[in-house]
């Protein structure tokens, strides 16, 4: 096989400088790239090879983790970079690209190409067709496509059709960087490498599950992009639903790309369809509003003053199978929340009989397990124990494990891990076409409903709060409430002090 050639479309963009180049450098640093690899950056902004190298050198100094900064190695890495100024929407540039690849690889060109699409999603349907036109879709090539893969079910089906007409499914890597995170993978280890929890992991012992992925920033400069997307497409249809799958899936018989992804798709196909759901009760959407000196969403740059794009969504899902029937999954995501956190909270059922008296109105509470994916990655189990002294006062205490305790092992970057997997042709942690379709099939009715009911509620919530009150009400029917975590790992069960 001739040398690995990584071709990044969108090479002048934010994702390339903040994530992709640092990830490639990290692979280089760890000797994960073969000696003669080449990276060719492509975008319309005019650079020469030299000026592009200077630009990336500067950005690496800004975005690399201090622990891996090494000037000599950065210079060596930079020497593998090249640049081609081209407009990816016309065929001319692809002929030039093809010539350049032949120059690099000579007559031994087996087409060991890795294309990375880090462009606006509108180009995802165009670039593969041009690659095919000039014969760059070789049998050894692979293509990584950023999210969002599709805008709704129809567009996702169309995109899949285009990709399948250019590449084989095993060459297509639909990336969701959530799955590249160590802590997401640890969820699988936690569930399937331990015998203790799995027997409890079902409707007999679990009352309800919460999944939260929120952040304490707004849309920054990405208004033009975000206003056409919103929280459902940006976070729920891909990231949150992946977390639902990891939490709810059956253990695969073997751990490989097919068996793992088969189980993911089974979860998506078991979600109780939304057709018969009261949308306004089960799905709460919100938009952040101004507070103190913080702008509301409609005041942000690039956002229309009457925009109805949701920056928050909470919803109740159910899974119709023997393991989960009757156990609600409450999921939520939002911008401008009090903190940035991604976590899964498993609420176990109360003991069938309470033999201890409640003391001053405080009764022993049900056990709760918190799996924190970011930040302060760790696991907390809440249990009730006796307070020393007379009587039997039961107090909630926590057993906490912090991933830092594993000590000395850097948690690794999600992009580096996933690019490495792609180079090794391992697609386990990438989304398969049937999963994309199953997920859109489930969520499409929400988009349809919002479109056909333009007056359906969009609740305001002030910047820095936990979203609309209606999302609390949504859980009351199950006597449930959201766990609103503070910044530290130990759950306080209270609203955070800001
Ligand atoms: N940034 C992130 O953290 C992040 C995270 C997850 C997913 N993503 C996804 O990754 C993709 C890239 O995101 P980004 O934040 O890097 O975007 P960005 O900063 O706007 O960069 C877009 C890139 O595409 C190029 N481009 C080529 N043709 C274009 C055209 N016709 N119109 C506009 N740009 C064109 C731009 O360069 P020229 O203008 O020089 O051609 C630029 O290099 C998006 O699909 C996004 O959803 C981004």
8 A C-beta contact, residue 428 and residue 261: yes
Index of the ligand 1 atom closest to the CA of residue 19: 3
**Average pLDDT for residues 12-30, to the nearest whole number?**
95
- Read off the pLDDT of residues 364-412 as tens digits, 9 standing for 90 and up: 789 999 999 888 788 999 988 888 888 888 888 888 888 777 664 555 6
- Read off the pLDDT of residues 137-163 as tens digits, 9 standing for 90 and up: 999 999 999 988 999 999 999 999 999
Index of the ligand 1 atom closest to the CA of residue 124: 45
CA distance 277 to 283: 9
Residue 108 banded pLDDT, cuts 50, 70, 90 = low
The full DSSP string for 430-489 is SB-HHHHHHHHHHHHHHHHHHHH-TTS--EEEETTS-S-THHHHHHHTTT-------SSS
Mean pLDDT, the chain, whole residue set: 91
Q: Which residue in 80, 177, 239, 347 is the catalytic one?
A: 239
CA distance 66 to 61: 9
Residue 494 banded pLDDT, cuts 50, 70, 90 = very low
- pLDDT above 80 (res 497): no
- Read off the pLDDT of residues 157-190 as tens digits, 9 standing for 90 and up: 999 999 999 999 999 999 988 888 888 888 999 9
- pLDDT above 80 (res 496): no
List all residues 6 or more positions away from 33 whose beta carbon is below 8 Å from its beta carbon: 4, 24, 27, 423
- Read off the pLDDT of residues 223-276 as tens digits, 9 standing for 90 and up: 888 999 999 999 999 999 999 999 999 999 998 999 999 999 999 999 999 887
Q: Is 388 helix (H, G, I), strand (E, B) or coil?
A: coil
Q: What is the per-residue pLDDT for 24?
A: 96
CA distance 377 to 183: 7
Measured CA angle at 337 (ends 335, 342), to 5 deg: 80
User: Which residue owns the Cα nearest ligand 1 atom 2?
Assistant: 15
Q: Which residues pair with 346 in a beta bridge?
A: 209, 369
Residue 65 banded pLDDT, cuts 50, 70, 90 = confident
- Read off the pLDDT of residues 434-450 as tens digits, 9 standing for 90 and up: 999 999 999 999 999 99
End-to-end CA distance of the chain: 56
CA distance 381 to 88: 51
8 A C-beta contact, residue 77 and residue 59: no
List all residues 6 or more positions away from 160 whose beta carbon is below 8 Å from its beta carbon: 433, 436, 437
User: Which residue owns the Cα nearest ligand 1 atom 44?
Assistant: 120
Ligand 1 contact, 14 CB (< 6 A): yes
Share of the chain above pLDDT 90, in %: 73
Ligand 1 contact, 105 CB (< 6 A): no
CA distance 214 to 333: 5
The full DSSP string for 191-214 is HHS-TTTGGGSSTTTEEEEEEEEE
Residue 239 appears among annotated catalytic residues: yes
- Read off the pLDDT of residues 113-143 as tens digits, 9 standing for 90 and up: 999 999 999 999 999 999 999 999 999 999 9
Domains defined along the chain, listed by start = 5-146 (3.40.50.720), 179-412+432-476 (3.30.360.10)
Strand-pair category, 329-334 with 312-317: antiparallel
> What number of H helices and E strands is found in the chain?
16, 15
CA distance 217 to 337: 7
């Amino acid at each position: 096989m001739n040398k690995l050639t990584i071709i990044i479309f969108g090479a002048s963009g934010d994702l390339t400088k903040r994530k992709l180049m640092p990830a490639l450098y990290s692979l280089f640093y760890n000797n994960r790239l073969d000696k003669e690899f080449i990276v060719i950056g492509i975008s319309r902004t005019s650079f020469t090879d030299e000026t592009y190298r200077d630009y990336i050198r500067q950005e690496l100094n800004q975005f690399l983790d201090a622990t891996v900064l090494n000037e000599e190695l950065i210079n060596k890495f930079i020497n593998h970079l090249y640049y081609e100024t081209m407009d990816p929407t016309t065929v001319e540039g692809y002929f030039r690209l093809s010539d350049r690849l032949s120059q690099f690889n000579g007559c031994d060109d087996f087409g060991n190409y890795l294309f990375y699409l880090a462009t606006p999603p509108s180009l995802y349907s165009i670039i593969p067709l041009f690659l095919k036109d000039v014969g760059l879709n070789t049998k050894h090539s692979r293509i990584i496509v950023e999210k969002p893969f599709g805008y709704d079910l129809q567009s996702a089906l169309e995109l899949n059709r285009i990709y399948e007409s250019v590449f084989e499914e095993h060459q297509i890597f639909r990336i969701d960087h959530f799955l590249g995170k160590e802590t997401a993978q640890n969820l699988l280890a936690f569930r399937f490498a331990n015998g203790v929890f799995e027997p409890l992991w079902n409707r007999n012992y679990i009352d309800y599950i919460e999944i939260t992925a929120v952040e304490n920033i707004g849309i920054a400069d990405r208004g033009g992009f975000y206003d056409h997307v919103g929280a459902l497409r940006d976070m729920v249809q891909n990231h949150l639903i992946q977390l639902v799958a990891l939490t709810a899936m059956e253990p695969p018989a073997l751990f490989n790309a097919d068996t793992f992804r088969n189980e993911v798709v089974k979860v998506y196909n078991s979600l109780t369809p939304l057709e018969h759901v009261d949308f306004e009760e089960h799905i709460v959407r919100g938009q952040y509003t101004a507070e103190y000196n913080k702008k509301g969403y409609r005041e942000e740059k690039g956002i229309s003053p009457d925009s109805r794009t949701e920056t928050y969504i909470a919803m109740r899902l159910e899974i119709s199978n023997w393991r989960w029937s009757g156990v609600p999954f409450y999921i939520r995501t939002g911008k401008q929340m009090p903190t940035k956190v991604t976590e899964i909270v498993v609420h176990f059922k109360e003991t069938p009989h309470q033999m201890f008296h409640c003391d001053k109105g405080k009764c022993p509470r049900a056990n709760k397990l918190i799996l924190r994916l970011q930040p302060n990655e760790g696991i907390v189990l809440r249990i009730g124990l006796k307070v020393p002294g007379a009587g039997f006062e039961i107090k909630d205490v926590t057993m906490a494990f912090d991933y830092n305790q594993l000590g000395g092992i850097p948690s690794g970057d999600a992009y580096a891990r996933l690019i490495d997997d792609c180079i090794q042709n391992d697609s386990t942690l990438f989304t398969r076409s049937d999963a994309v379709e199953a997920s859109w099939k489930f969520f499409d009715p929400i988009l349809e409903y919002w479109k056909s009911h333009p007056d359906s509620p969009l609740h305001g919530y002030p910047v820095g709060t936990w979203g609309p009150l209606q999302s609390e009400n949504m859980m009351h029917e199950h006597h449930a409430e959201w766990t609103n975590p503070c910044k530290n790992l130990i759950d306080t069960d209270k609203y955070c002090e800001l």
